[in-house]
Amino acid sequence: MLDDAEIGRLKREVLELEADPEMFHFNAGRNTGYVQPKEGDSGPGRIHVRGDVLPMEGAVHPRSSMSTKAVLAHEYWGHAQYPRTKLEPREWNDEFRASYTAAAEAPNLTFRERQDLMRDAVKRAEEANRSIKPNALMRYFFSDGYSDPPTWWTPPKGFKPPGEE
């Protein structure tokens, strides 16, 4: 369970991400995740946020170590922007797209948070025994910003390359 102070901090992060605060429901559901709208419902769905949103001390797996803001970005920018996707919920390609999209498009994330989301995307493919050829945006984040960002990518609001944060 999240306490009042944690919920207050998470609500501020939702606003920093320029996400719709009405979609976020704290201490609801079994775990943190996006819930697609029911058939015939015109709404955007819901995002349940539980205590599992908090990073685990000393964890190395991207899903366990990424910041709460990165997790919220994954759910909102990665899942909620595709409310009626044809991809099966929780399938590797749905999760890959969610982390990749959040890394590329969510406003006001740090470079490290974007790296963690890209690492999570690749990890999702690896766990499904899928091979992913990194594109230019992935290589940019994996190189710690030493390579140039791709010319086709428009950095989102608040983006700062390493060394400028």
Per-domain residue ranges of the chain: 4-142
More confident: 85 or 120: 120
CA distances from 79 to 20, 118, 131 (A): 13, 15, 22
What dihedral do alpha carbons 10, 96, 110, 23 form, nearest 10°?
-30
Residue 133, pLDDT score: 93
Cα 89 from Cα 98, distance rounded (Å): 11
Confidence of residue 83 (pLDDT cuts 50, 70, 90): confident
Residue 64: pLDDT band with limits 50, 70, 90: confident
In this prediction, residue 131 carries a pLDDT of: 92
Q: How far apart, in whole angstroms, are the C-alpha atoms of residue 59 and residue 160?
A: 25
Q: Are 125 and 92 in contact (CB under 8 A)?
A: yes
- In terms of Cα–Cα distance, which of 55, 157, 165, 27 is closest to 116? 55
Please state, in angstroms and rounded to a whole number, the distance separating the CA atoms of residues 155 and 147.
Answer: 15
Stated length of the chain: 165
Q: Would you state the pLDDT for residue 18?
A: 97
d(CA 32, CA 16): 19
| In the predicted structure, residue 84 carries a pLDDT above the cut 80 | no
For 15, the token pair is 């606003």
Whether the Cβ atoms of residue 107 and residue 160 lie closer than 8 Å to each other:
no
pLDDT recorded at residue 22: 96
pLDDT value at 164 more than 90: no
Q: Can you give the pTM of this predicted structure?
A: 0.93
Question: Does 36 have pLDDT greater than 90?
Answer: no
Q: Taking residues 49-73, what's their average pLDDT?
A: 90
For 92-144, the pLDDT digits (tens) are 999 999 999 999 999 999 999 999 999 999 999 999 999 999 999 999 999 99
